[in-house]
Amino acid sequence: MARSQARSLNLDRLLDEPVDWRYKSFPAGPSVPIRSVRARGWNVLSGEFMLPVMVLKDSALSHNIELMAKYCRDHDFLLAPHGKTAMSPQLLARQLEAGSWAVTAATMSQVRVWRAFGVDRVILANELVEPASVRWVASELRDDPEFDFYCLVDSVAEVRLLEAALAGTALDRPLQLLLEVGPMGGRTGCRTPEQALEVARAVASSGRLALAGVEAFEGVITAKSLAGTIDATDAFLDDMRAVVVKLDQAGHFAKARRVIVTAGGSAFPDRVVARLGQPWDLSRPVALVLRSGCYLTHDAIHYQQLSPFGGRIPDTGPLQEALEVWGVVLSLPEPGLALIGFGKRDVPHDLELPVPGFVKSGAEKTRPIGEGVAIFAVNDQHAYMRLGPREQLRVGDMVGCGISHPCTAFDKWRLIPVVDDGYNVIDAVLTYF
Amino acid sequence: MARSQARSLNLDRLLDEPVDWRYKSFPAGPSVPIRSVRARGWNVLSGEFMLPVMVLKDSALSHNIELMAKYCRDHDFLLAPHGKTAMSPQLLARQLEAGSWAVTAATMSQVRVWRAFGVDRVILANELVEPASVRWVASELRDDPEFDFYCLVDSVAEVRLLEAALAGTALDRPLQLLLEVGPMGGRTGCRTPEQALEVARAVASSGRLALAGVEAFEGVITAKSLAGTIDATDAFLDDMRAVVVKLDQAGHFAKARRVIVTAGGSAFPDRVVARLGQPWDLSRPVALVLRSGCYLTHDAIHYQQLSPFGGRIPDTGPLQEALEVWGVVLSLPEPGLALIGFGKRDVPHDLELPVPGFVKSGAEKTRPIGEGVAIFAVNDQHAYMRLGPREQLRVGDMVGCGISHPCTAFDKWRLIPVVDDGYNVIDAVLTYF
């Protein structure tokens, strides 16, 4: 199934895309199509690129994709990676080739992107309340019998909106819904079993809708400590499990062949596996689905601290950082201060700022940056870097940084070079935000 | 001059761009080229768009462009609007048509975008230290005798890098540099007159370089109060003025026909006019250049509080908000809490969060939102909105918000509908970040 999806992704039109002035950082000169980027022989640190540049490390990508695929296989979970992280058909193709069961989307515009490439199973991990979006997905479902689509529901009001919008379509199969549960103080989702049952009853009363399972996103839960967050996450997942059982006992999965139970970002997939992976005793088979997105590239701080791989799950080893941003030292205007040529337009700044790791000075070899060097502020196009007492940089030096939060890194780049371990450009991937 | 630039912007290839799945929020269905968007007859609030959507209000755009153009004319300043704010050739064309003298860029990739549209005068308001970028701009200057390019310099190290990179080119005219001064604790720029003179001497000793003027960005200065910021800004601009005089007295503008003196973001253009607009007594004529960017669209908080127009400059009246983001109420999961369907991917979140202003419920007319409603957090694709006791929203309602910080609004949208005062789509502008 996954492999047939992979083959159906038509990437040809992307590979014909000319690499030109529309794509920041790529070298000037005659444009080449993306399919010829490797043959062009660029190296991002050899001085041809106009910094800043964000690179994707191919070896880390492959490592992470294979690690997560194996983890899911080993625990009988399906994987519907959250495509919103990278919004890159070329990267999704690699995830599908590695066995992913579906793609997850956050908005209907994202669903449109995936449909443009023929992805035939999509979970919209969000409520669907706009009539035009309902009508569009109904037309996609009607035109393509293979298209398997799920969206979330957490209110009777949404059920009524869905019914009303579907009434104007010729869709001949029910729209599949996942009932969303959410923690108190959290994001979307029913807060109590009673609310969940009320919504499920409204779904059951509609001939146009079918309850296909239960969904949650545990990643909105935070406590004062990691241990506290894990405890709260476990308790929430146990509550979710109880809701699934209640809905099944009340017959609300009557129209479903199997019950989909899905949760899991990239911070606590291990807790999802631990609490939802235990045996179920429902009226129908259960399909367990993880929806991690950021595992694809991992990062230098946020997921580095939270990811279970190599820590809470010691046997897998850790994920590897696949994203790196390089900027140039523009100025050293005061002792101990360097201004680097990237900013809010280039790097994530919503969780933590980039973490300097490497320096390349002219033709010299790349070396680790001195201890204590840190970026402490960013403007739109500049970063402020405090130098330690032992780090001497020169104007024009290139500084390589890890990033925190892949989701706000990808959306700042429309075309990203994929590099081998020597920073040779072997591919380039487009994003669609 | 300005008008001839406007005519030279070739927007044809942009207007042929098909509006399709690559551009979030635009309606599904057969794609139309941008030039036919008006004829298509869309309205962003009629339910065809897939929310969120960010709109540009045409009347506010025109108002702001004309206001700033007149302000500059009235005070004998030239305008080189900072193109980094919107990175939109279509919007720059309107600014050039209104008399702008040049465009300002923050990076060499941005310069490439403007050159792709034939813009013939560019200020790179940044240091230039990468050899490949120097070589590229040298080739542009060599191939196009009309191309008038300036970049900043703030160190002898940069002078050496520029010289070395230019040595390998066939450029037959000197590269024009603006000496940057910056405040202590600020960003790039020489901190003292002594540093400035040292850099100017290095420039003067090079046959490949010419000092064309002095640049500063006063917008990095902040004090505890607005009055304190203004005092510090004035003092800094007076220091800048003294540096210009010193450089002139030392003969460092010997290769220049006129001395360019340029500063000014969108927060304190009035202080720049007040301190740099006073008569000069230099060896050559002075060309005063403002570089404001955010005036183009203004905003709901940051520039609303800082902009002089209508306040410190009462006779102009204020700028108008030209950007508005609309999202849909996805869920009302707890009393007083609404989840709106936009997030970090769609709205600025670096200074302040969006400000809810309007509600449209189904076919009802748009109305002002209740007092006390506020967005207090954003995730990647969701906003958390606290409802006041008197505001009743329904799932599916559309909420319209002002934004804070145009620079981090535009970069989240590749194609933005331009609407009339009734939200009818009359155009759509592409951005290139």
- List all residues 6 or more positions away from A157 whose beta carbon is below 8 Å from its beta carbon: B332, B394, B395, B396
How close B10 gets to chain A, by Cα (Å)?
15
Say yes or no to pLDDT of B102 above 70: yes
CB burial of residue B193 (10 Å; 0-12, 13-18, 19+): middle
- Interface with chain B: mutation pick from A88, A222, A380, highest number of B CBs within 10 Å: A380
The minimal CB distance from B328 to the residues A129, A332, A334 is found for: A129
How close B74 gets to chain A, by Cα (Å)?
30
Q: Are B223 and B232 in contact (CB under 8 A)?
A: yes
d(CA B323, CA B253): 42
Amino acid at residue number A186: G
Q: Helices (DSSP H) in B223-263: which residue ranges?
A: 226-249
pLDDT tens digits for chain A (433 residues)?
333 444 458 899 899 999 999 999 999 999 999 999 999 999 999 999 999 999 999 999 999 999 999 999 999 999 999 999 999 999 999 999 999 999 999 999 999 999 999 999 999 999 999 999 999 999 999 999 999 999 999 999 999 999 999 998 999 999 999 999 999 999 999 999 999 999 999 999 999 999 999 999 999 999 999 999 999 999 999 999 999 999 999 999 999 999 999 999 999 999 999 999 999 999 999 999 999 999 999 999 999 999 999 999 999 999 999 999 999 999 999 999 999 999 999 999 999 999 999 999 999 999 999 999 999 999 999 999 999 888 989 999 999 999 999 999 999 999 999 999 999 999 999 999 9
- Which chain A residues are within 8 Å of B331, Cβ to Cβ? 127, 154-155, 158, 187-189
d(CA A352, CA A350): 6
Q: Do B50 and A133 make contact, defined as CB atoms within 8 angstroms?
A: yes
How close A74 gets to chain B, by Cα (Å)?
30
The minimal CB distance from A157 to the residues B25, B380, B394 is found for: B394
pLDDT for residue B9: 84
Residue B125 C-beta-side C-alpha neighbours within 13 Å: 32
How close B63 gets to chain A, by Cα (Å)?
26
Q: Do B50 and A328 make contact, defined as CB atoms within 8 angstroms?
A: no
The minimal CB distance from B25 to the residues A109, A350, A382 is found for: A109
Q: Do B22 and A432 make contact, defined as CB atoms within 8 angstroms?
A: yes
Q: Token match 């790791």: residue?
A: A357
Amino acid at residue number B413: W
- Interface with chain B: mutation pick from A19, A21, A25, highest number of B CBs within 10 Å: A21
How close A141 gets to chain B, by Cα (Å)?
14
Q: Do B21 and A115 make contact, defined as CB atoms within 8 angstroms?
A: yes
Confidence of residue B8 (pLDDT cuts 50, 70, 90): low
- Interface with chain A: mutation pick from B117, B127, B179, B332, highest number of A CBs within 10 Å: B127
The residue in chain A having the minimum alpha-carbon distance to the alpha carbon of residue B410 is A345
Confidence of residue B389 (pLDDT cuts 50, 70, 90): confident
Q: Do B332 and A131 make contact, defined as CB atoms within 8 angstroms?
A: no
d(CA A360, CA A168): 61
- Interface with chain A: mutation pick from B31, B53, B128, B129, highest number of A CBs within 10 Å: B129
DSSP of B363-395: TSPPEEPPTT-EEEEE-SS-EEEEPPTT----T
Q: Token match 């799950």: residue?
A: A313
pLDDT for residue B1: 38
- Which chain B residues are within 8 Å of A292, Cβ to Cβ? none
- Which chain B residues are within 8 Å of A328, Cβ to Cβ? 129-130
Say yes or no to pLDDT of B287 above 90: yes
How close A269 gets to chain B, by Cα (Å)?
19
Q: C-alpha dihedral over B130, B136, B137, B139, to 10 degrees?
A: 140
DSSP of A392-421: ---TT-EEEEE-S-THHHHTT-SEEEEE-T
The minimal CB distance from A129 to the residues B157, B345, B395 is found for: B395
The residue in chain A having the minimum alpha-carbon distance to the alpha carbon of residue B381 is A106
The residue in chain A having the minimum alpha-carbon distance to the alpha carbon of residue B361 is A130
Instruction: Return the CA Rg of chain B.
Output: 23
The residue in chain B having the minimum alpha-carbon distance to the alpha carbon of residue A189 is B333
d(CA A71, CA A43): 34
- Which chain B residues are within 8 Å of A191, Cβ to Cβ? 333-334
Instruction: Return the CA Rg of chain A.
Output: 23
d(CA B269, CA B57): 23
d(CA B51, CA A137): 15
Q: What are phi and psi of B304, to 5 degrees?
A: -55, -40
> Judging by DSSP bridges, how do beta strands B286-290 and A259-263 pair with one another?
unpaired
Say yes or no to pLDDT of B97 above 60: yes
- List all residues 6 or more positions away from B229 whose beta carbon is below 8 Å from its beta carbon: B221, B222, B223, B268
The residue in chain B having the minimum alpha-carbon distance to the alpha carbon of residue A162 is B396
Is the complex ipTM more than 0.90?
yes
How close B121 gets to chain A, by Cα (Å)?
18
Q: Token match 């999202």: residue?
A: B327
Peptide linkage before B52 cis (omega within 30 of 0): yes
How close A304 gets to chain B, by Cα (Å)?
19
| Cβ count near A168 (within 10 Å) | 11
Give the count of Cβ contacts less than 8 A between chain A and B.
Answer: 206
Q: Are B202 and B195 in contact (CB under 8 A)?
A: no
